[in-house]
Structure 1
Amino acid sequence: MSKNKEAKKPSKASRFKTPEVVFLDGLSNQQSSKYRLAQGFGVLFAVSLVLQAWALANVFSDMALHQSFSLSLLVIGLFAILLRALANFGRERICTSASRDIRYGLRRKLVSHLTELGPARLRIDEDAALSTRVYEQVDALDDFFSRYKPQVFMVTLIPCVILLSVVSISWIAFFVFMLTAPLVIVFMIFVGHKAAQANRRQFSVLAMLSNQFMDLSQGLAELKRLSRTDEARDRLSYSAESYQKTTMGVLVLAFLSTATLELFASLSIAMIALYLGLGLIESLPWQQGSSPVTLTQAMFLLLLAPEFYLPLRQLGNDYHAKQKAEAAATDLLEILNTVQSTAKASAPDSNLSADINKQAFLSLRQVGWLESGRHRLAPISLDVFKGERVWLSGESGVGKSSLLHLLLGFEEAYQGEFYIEGRPFSERNLAEWRTKLAWLPQSPEWVNGSIKRNLLLGIEAPSDDVLQEALRKSQCDDFIQALPNGLETSLTELGSGLSGGQMQRLSIARALLSQADVWLLDEPCSGLDTETANAVLNTLNQVSKGKTLLIVSHDTHPILWADKHWSLNKGGLHEKNNQTIA
């Protein structure tokens, strides 16, 4: 038992890491085999680099001193150059592949988690900002995994290999390398910290811009009616200008970092070159009349000097990718750390459990929902039997939609007892339960594509006969046939080109094609005129016979064909006589 506890303890190094760093490390560990292979190519790169410098130094010194030319050394040098290029190519391809797999896997995980959250995702941010996180900010991790992560290994490997090669030749060159390298790293960290703050501001402004763009596009018709399009355009222009400024701020820091690192590296290489030059002409102040190195050794050191600082400069250029990735990870962790509810369902009450009607399809006893000290849903008790069609009416804010969210499994912070088909709802497999549901929200959601694609989204493609039968029952066949391209007519996310009643009929057709046994409808007639609402309700009456149906709405459009009518208010649930409604 103690061994298991010890295994779960975080390492000493991880205790000092931020959650963002731990998150990014966990993602990179998913592709550890590829990164190890990339490190193998990195070792090959470092060895070929030293071999190249040694061979070319001997070739050049022989030509200068002896006017001779060694073909074998030249071949070795050219072979080392080719080997270095191939090793670098292989390393980059492997790291790019690892980055792609990490990002694709993370994006699938985020989309899956947001799907499980359902309406609870709006506690994080609006849909436009969430889509920005899922696509833009996940892609912002690319440079971290494809460039910065492998470069951290190279910045350790190559300078160490070069220092081992230099130490036996010149102690002065060795100490110049040792003293100047930390300056590059310190300034890289300083500028990188500023870049992290700039990247966080950039992501925040981008999220705000995405939300504004979606809100304006959805409310464009209303803005035109109110003659407020100029104000909306000015507001969007201001947000776009703010995003432009934050982006330029990030670029300024990136260019500043690059220029400064290049300056440090150039000065350091110049110091090495000056030392070697004065040494070769025997003019060093502390060593007059003799040279500390031979021409071959000087050439070797001079060829290695730029290579010593190259990985440091490259890491400096890529360091802002690390800060950008950590800024993106903050927002991505917010999504992954968001749970469906802030609390679990309360412990079972034996008295309430004894009162459960296990013969009913759906049985609730004193089920309520308390959030932030107020009731989102007052405690209610009800039984719905299989095949019953129930109308739940009530004013806005009494918890009608909250009840549907509970039935969909998107919230767990409820009190009371909740049974489905004689089993506690908490014990049911949510994925299996949702396959039995048809969900018709207040505002049907669509994707850009044809009407047929939207009808068949998420279900197995039925035969043409089944499809046409669903269109006929939902009374969609007439208006679809009147469209220029029929089922292949393009549909936007807002359902442009179709009326509210037509979109609701398409939702009914989609529910029929899903072959679900349980239908949950949230305000299906919201925003429709009386004539259209009555037509939609008549269609629902015809197609929902034999289904277990729960429809929530106001009392604006009476549903006389419902088997039961319950009225919900702040005090709870009250059964009403449906036949008395005129």
Structure 2
Amino acid sequence: MDKSLEKQLISWLRQQKKACGFYLNLTVLFGLLTGFSLVVQAYLLSTILHGIIILDLPKSDFVHEFILLLGLIPLRAILAFARERASFESGKRLRLQIRSAVLDKLTELGPAFVKGKPAGSWASIVLEQVEDLHDFYARYLPQIILAGFIPLTILVVVFPLNWAAGIILLATAPLIPMFMILVGMGAADANRKNFSALAKLSGHFMDRLKGLNTLKLFNRGEAEAKEIESASEEFRERTMSVLKMAFLSSAVLEFFAAVSIAVLAVYFGFSYLGHLNFGDYDHGISLFIGLFVLMLAPEFYQPLRDMGTHYHAKAQAIGAAEELMALLEYRLESDVSEKKAGGIELDWHSGAEIIATDLAVMSHDGSRLVGPLSFHLKFGEHVALVGPSGSGKTCLLNAILGFLPYQGSLQINGNELKDLDKAHYRRHLAWLGQDPQLFHGSIRSNVAMVNPDMGDAEVEALLAKAKVLDFVQEQALGLGYPIGEQMAGVSVGQAQRIALARALGQEAKLFLLDEPTASLDSHSEQAVLSALREAMSQSSCLMVSHRLEQLDGMDTILVLDKGDIVQRGSFDELNRVEGLFRQMQDDECELDTCMDKESHS
């Protein structure tokens, strides 16, 4: 990974620690108290053993020391428990904050941005990558402070007793972080690649699972299974690479800690044998000093070893932070940002009017998708958008919905869309797309989404307007009829009409329709169109459609091609002149004729 990027990610991670609250400091405090209790425990043990073994004092002389020692055992357990609880709470608060920020950002960016990645990739970011930040805040950050304070405290205690032991501790201490850094240099890059492989696998698997019927029909099942197997193998290799680094790091740290303690033990052993005679300030090396320093030695290296053990948490967090930082710091154009307060609330009593002047719809990365174009949808007028696939019809609808940025002017009832309160604005829209989205739950919960307190009679009235009440009444559970994952339990036509009932619950003044009869049979198509005509009789409408024969009732038709309006007029006017509309209608007639011949044959 590029060093400047790594520094940027570490800086971003540290900026997020305020979400942990005081629990992060509490974790450090309990860790320090645990370290100090270990020093006191070593002192008491050394004092008791030196007095009994060397000074030959009776055990009764050390009653207070024994009581304090027994009291330290539960105290250390309580401190260790408190530290674990505080560290967990610290990480939990951070994860909740980041997840909330990610979901808020996705809501702010809108559907047009979210659809740019497979659902599995977003699931990986929200679940896996946020989860992998936990140990960085719960373990690594507190351990950095403890790895400085506890060894320093031990050095302050050891140097006045034996300067040679202090120098050995001081000289060997850097070996552990030095080799920890060397081993962990590639860990962040390995974790980043691991997350990339996981996102690829998640998105790949989710897309193939949703399209399983298509894969089976085109005999692509085995080929796609091999691709999933390949993606899984790549993820396995990345994971094993990360684990290998984690185990290597632990082994190296344990080795150098053991060697350092062994050097200290050899020094005291040879000193007691009389082969070494330095480091004791000419006071001699007593059993108390030897025991005290040797008991503190493992605790001197333990915070450094723990930091090394948790170093992979830092690498893991850096790998996870790359996509999270890019997403959370993604800057929107001002005209698609959700105005939380102070946005204009429109007066809808007169209906809805749209005036677009030199309107250019932009993507989130700044490229032009549609326009510049100009049109006027008057109060109560019904306008259709037609054109070849890729001409920009759906992009234009997304801009009017407030999901894509734009340049030029797009006025709703005389006010710029970018200045409106988006939530208030959307409450007066009825949107129906070509792919209806019903959620796991009952028919009642799906229709009453706009107002969860809606009564059964109101829900049934909306279903009746959408020409789907008969289907609901035929079910034993009625409005409680369950809709499963991926709209299981209803047909496409029924799902579209239930979605229409939900849209009608908005009591909208502006209908935005994106091929609302796509993929429907003729019976369902007529039912949906009939319901729409009744509902839109007093409202304005902008509809994208590929079925040109449905447009004879529209007031105006706008014909788009490559992002520009190339024709405009009524159905009869466009039908009388040569142009793209006439060509599209001729193509549609030829297709219908061919289909009729095939059905008769």
Structure 2 length normalisation: TM-score?
Answer: 0.86
Q: Distance in 2 between matches of 1:242 and 1:16?
A: 24
Shift of 1:519: 2.5
Corresponding residue for 2:226?
A: 234
Q: 1:29 aligns with which of 14, 18, 41?
A: 18
Q: Which stretch has the larger CA shift, 125-134 or 437-446?
A: 437-446
Corresponding residue for 1:60?
A: 49
Equivalent position SS for 1:558: helix
Deviations 1:373-419 (A, max 9, x none): 9852122222223333322222211111111111121222x332211
Q: 1:382 aligns with which of 368, 375, 386?
A: 375
Corresponding residue for 2:571?
A: 578
Q: Which stretch has the larger CA shift, 226-235 or 516-525?
A: 516-525
Query: CA separation of 1:160/1:227 partners in 2, compared to 1, >3 Å: closer, same or farther?
Result: same
Corresponding residue for 1:249?
A: 241
Mapping 1:267-416, distance limit 5 Å: 267-284=259-276, 292-341=284-333, 361-369=353-361, 376-412=369-405, 414-416=406-408
Equivalent position SS for 1:520: strand
The yes-or-no answer on 1:430 pairing with 2:419 is no
Q: Distance in 2 between matches of 1:509 and 1:169?
A: 84
Deviations 1:43-75 (A, max 9, x none): 322221211111121122223222532121011
Query: CA separation of 1:487/1:233 partners in 2, compared to 1, >3 Å: closer, same or farther?
Result: farther
- For the 8 Å contact 1:360–1:386, the answer to whether it is kept is yes
Shift of 1:142: 0.8
Mapping 1:73-112, distance limit 5 Å: 73-112=65-104
Query: CA separation of 1:243/1:543 partners in 2, compared to 1, >3 Å: closer, same or farther?
Result: same
The yes-or-no answer on 1:218 pairing with 2:207 is no
One-letter identity of the residue aligned with 2:437: E
Q: Which stretch has the larger CA shift, 514-523 or 47-56?
A: 514-523
Q: Which stretch has the larger CA shift, 430-439 or 110-119?
A: 430-439
Structure 1 length normalisation: TM-score?
Answer: 0.88
Q: Distance in 1 between matches of 2:327 and 2:545?
A: 31
Q: Which stretch has the larger CA shift, 317-326 or 444-453?
A: 444-453
Equivalent position SS for 1:575: strand
* Gap runs ≥5 in structure 2: 338-349, 576-584, 586-601
Equivalent position SS for 1:439: strand
Q: Distance in 2 between matches of 1:315 and 1:87?
A: 19
Q: Distance in 2 between matches of 1:203 and 1:316?
A: 22
Q: 1:521 aligns with which of 490, 513, 519?
A: 513
Query: CA separation of 1:136/1:459 partners in 2, compared to 1, >3 Å: closer, same or farther?
Result: farther
Corresponding residue for 2:146?
A: 154
Q: Distance in 2 between matches of 1:509 and 1:74?
A: 78
Q: Distance in 2 between matches of 1:202 and 1:210?
A: 12
Corresponding residue for 2:28?
A: 39
Shift of 1:343: 9.8
CA RMSD of aligned residues (A): 2.8
Shift of 1:512: 2.1
- For the 8 Å contact 2:448–2:459, the answer to whether it is kept is no
Shift of 1:285: 6.6
Q: Which stretch has the larger CA shift, 157-166 or 471-480?
A: 471-480
Q: Distance in 2 between matches of 1:132 and 1:329?
A: 12
One-letter identity of the residue aligned with 2:387: G
Q: Distance in 2 between matches of 1:534 and 1:344?
A: 35
Query: CA separation of 1:342/1:498 partners in 2, compared to 1, >3 Å: closer, same or farther?
Result: same
Deviations 1:312-362 (A, max 9, x none): 1111111001011011100111212333459999xxxxxxxxxxxx99721
Corresponding residue for 2:536?
A: 544
- For the 8 Å contact 1:124–1:334, the answer to whether it is kept is no
Deviations 1:125-156 (A, max 9, x none): 33321221111100110111111111111111
Equivalent position SS for 1:519: strand
Deviations 1:161-210 (A, max 9, x none): 11111111111111111111111101111222222121111101111111
Q: 1:130 aligns with which of 122, 132, 135?
A: 122
One-letter identity of the residue aligned with 1:576: G
Corresponding residue for 1:479?
A: 471
Q: Distance in 2 between matches of 1:517 and 1:493?
A: 32
- For the 8 Å contact 1:474–1:543, the answer to whether it is kept is no
Query: CA separation of 1:557/1:505 partners in 2, compared to 1, >3 Å: closer, same or farther?
Result: farther
* Gap runs ≥5 in structure 1: 1-14, 346-357
Q: Which stretch has the larger CA shift, 137-146 or 507-516?
A: 507-516
- For the 8 Å contact 2:352–2:540, the answer to whether it is kept is no
One-letter identity of the residue aligned with 2:378: F
Shift of 1:482: 3.5
Q: Which stretch has the larger CA shift, 44-53 or 294-303?
A: 44-53
One-letter identity of the residue aligned with 2:243: L
Query: CA separation of 1:446/1:315 partners in 2, compared to 1, >3 Å: closer, same or farther?
Result: farther
Query: CA separation of 1:299/1:456 partners in 2, compared to 1, >3 Å: closer, same or farther?
Result: farther
Q: Distance in 1 between matches of 2:499 and 2:76?
A: 60
- For the 8 Å contact 1:445–1:493, the answer to whether it is kept is no
Corresponding residue for 1:498?
A: 490
One-letter identity of the residue aligned with 2:309: N
- For the 8 Å contact 2:361–2:399, the answer to whether it is kept is no
Query: CA separation of 1:179/1:439 partners in 2, compared to 1, >3 Å: closer, same or farther?
Result: farther
Equivalent position SS for 1:377: strand
One-letter identity of the residue aligned with 2:383: V
Query: CA separation of 1:291/1:427 partners in 2, compared to 1, >3 Å: closer, same or farther?
Result: same
Q: Distance in 2 between matches of 1:250 and 1:402?
A: 42
Query: CA separation of 1:401/1:269 partners in 2, compared to 1, >3 Å: closer, same or farther?
Result: same
Q: Distance in 1 between matches of 2:506 and 2:66?
A: 72
Mapping 1:153-192, distance limit 5 Å: 153-192=145-184
Q: Which stretch has the larger CA shift, 312-321 or 56-65?
A: 56-65
One-letter identity of the residue aligned with 2:38: L
One-letter identity of the residue aligned with 1:298: G
Q: Distance in 2 between matches of 1:195 and 1:17?
A: 12
Query: CA separation of 1:57/1:457 partners in 2, compared to 1, >3 Å: closer, same or farther?
Result: farther
Equivalent position SS for 1:524: coil
Query: CA separation of 1:57/1:509 partners in 2, compared to 1, >3 Å: closer, same or farther?
Result: same
Q: Distance in 2 between matches of 1:470 and 1:445?
A: 17
Q: Distance in 1 between matches of 2:230 and 2:30?
A: 48
Query: CA separation of 1:476/1:529 partners in 2, compared to 1, >3 Å: closer, same or farther?
Result: closer
Q: Distance in 1 between matches of 2:82 and 2:251?
A: 29
- For the 8 Å contact 1:340–1:410, the answer to whether it is kept is no
Q: Which stretch has the larger CA shift, 249-258 or 385-394?
A: 385-394
Q: Distance in 2 between matches of 1:115 and 1:459?
A: 20
Q: Which stretch has the larger CA shift, 433-442 or 199-208?
A: 433-442
Corresponding residue for 1:117?
A: 109
